[in-house]
Structure 1
Amino acid sequence: MFNKVTHVLFDLDGLLIDSENYYTEAFSNVCAKYGKEFTWEVKATLLGFQNRECAEKIVQTLDLPITTDEFLTQCQEQYEILFPKVELMPGAKTLVEHLHNCGIPIALATSSSEDSVQLKMAKHQKFLSYFHHLVMGSSDPEVTKGKPDPAIFLVCASRFPDKPEPEKCLVFEDALNGVKAARAANMQVVIVPDPRVDKNLLQNATLILESLEDFKPELFGLPPYNQCACK
């Protein structure tokens, strides 16, 4: 049993939706134009960062003969083709619907921009409607720094009407930078990492899962799946 929580914050990419594979495909396609390979070793250093930060790191690391803005423009062309295909991750719909139906305040805290989220979630609008609010770091003026800075989670928590204390918030993440950000915000954090991530790097996470399907809400004082007092 962990500390009881009252509010839940979710990352999006790689946690609730399977978009990480499409990001990889988009980055790989652009890099390949210049004879460069976008490897897992490069990708592992980017997880959890905002879009521009990722682009800057890729251009610099792979020594691409283009600017960050040019890289972003070429990636956007890829996104418009790939992102509408995005599906929900296993267990995402069940967990989010359960918390919503039980009256647990939930919100989205993603490093993606508003345009990116709408593109990826075009066919998942009902799913998005379950969240009290969405904080999209790359386009939100209040999110002054990206993960691993705690800003996005602190801003997200502050937008609930009852403004819960950080200790009462549980974060769901898939990336190391997300874990660092949540812990810096003094929040508990459940991580569902890419299986290639070194588990030794995730020791600060409150709980490590292989899938959202494995999560037991009652561990954090939330209503269990089989006895929800729905509102």
Structure 2
Amino acid sequence: MSRVTNNAKAGFKKVSHVIFDMDGLLLDTEGVYKKIIGGIAASFGKKYSPELRSKLLGRQEIDTSKLAVKELALPINWEQFFEMFRTESNKLLTNCPLLPGAEQLVKHLHKNNIPIAVATSSCKESFDLKTQNHKHFFNLFHHTVTGGSDPEVGSGKPSPDIFLVCASRFPDKPKPYDCLVLEDAPNGVTAAVSAGMQCVMVPDKETSPEKCQHATLILPSLTDLKPELFGLPAIK
């Protein structure tokens, strides 16, 4: 069941552009990340809790490494954590499938000439690794901003930088209020709302409801999104 939050009491506003997060929204990667970080934590006798996972979702890899080491009180520095994280990621992230509704929605928007882009916290190397089996799908997007390595993205999510940079790279440079963001992570929703954009959230099942309240609309899956709510062509 979809849920409208307080941000949408005045009704949804028409948009012209759509910006997608990637991990946990388009690609089913979050389970892999949970396994990787949980494994690193366990190797030091620590437990990777749902609360910490919620804090890390959507962040850049370096920010994730720093926060994980601090919150878990690990006896290593963030650079060592980052190296362990990247080594395991390179092994496990090459065959992640698309999540339900992602392909249908993206193809629909592309067919109807709605400008679409990806704004991911991943670095370019990680993005290439995760999307190598989905190149045709990701070629449907006008552009991709890889926040983990893009010099114009000063701060990662929950800062709004990545979404503002992403919007600026459309040829017609839409205003923030003309953009709809699709996200799965609380940090990503915070970034989108801070950028002045509406945000549809498809939260992870472990994300607590109170972490979702700032989203414009909450949905269980991308298959439940009705683009016409935001003035976009309906899926027939």
Q: 1:73 aligns with which of 78, 83, 88?
A: 83
- In structure 2, what is the equivalent of residue 93 of structure 1? 103
Per the alignment, residue 193 of structure 2 pairs with 183
Q: After superposition, where does 1:62-141 map in structure 2 within 5 Å?
A: 62-141=72-151
Instruction: Tell me which amino acid in the other structure corresponds to 2:34.
Output: T
SS at match of 2:51: helix
Tell me by how many angstroms 1:203 deviates.
2.2
Q: Which residue of 2 aligns with 1:48?
A: 58
Q: Secondary structure at the match of 2:93?
A: helix
Q: In the alignment, what sits opposite 1:25? A: 35
Moved over 3 A (4+): none
RMSD: 1.1
If asked which structure has higher relative contact order (CA below 8 Å, sep 6+), I would say 2
SS at match of 1:24: helix
TM-score, normalised with respect to structure 1: 0.95
Q: Deviations over 1:59-98 (max 9, x none)?
A: 1111211111111111111111110121111000000111
- Long gaps (5+) in structure 1: 227-231
Separation in 2, partners of 1:4, 1:122: 34
The offset of 1:186, in angstroms, is 0.8
In structure 1, what is the Cα distance between the partners aligned to 2:205 and 2:44?
A: 29
Q: CA deviation at 1:109?
A: 0.4
Deviation, structure 1 residue 145 = 0.5
Q: Alignment partner for residue 58 of structure 1, among 47, 57, 68?
A: 68
Amino acid at match of 1:225: I
- The separation in 2 between residues aligned to 1:203 and 1:209, in whole angstroms, is 12
Give the deviation of 1:34 after TM superposition: 1.8
Judge conservation of contact 2:101–2:222 (CA < 8 Å) in 1.
yes
**Cα drift, residue 178 of structure 1:** 1.1
Q: Secondary structure at the match of 2:117?
A: strand
In the alignment, what sits opposite 1:198?
Answer: 208
Aligned residues: percent identity? 50
Query: If the length of structure 2 is used for normalisation, what is the TM-score?
Result: 0.93
- Superposed CA offset, 1:75-128 (max 9, x none): 111111110121111000000111011100000001111111111111000111
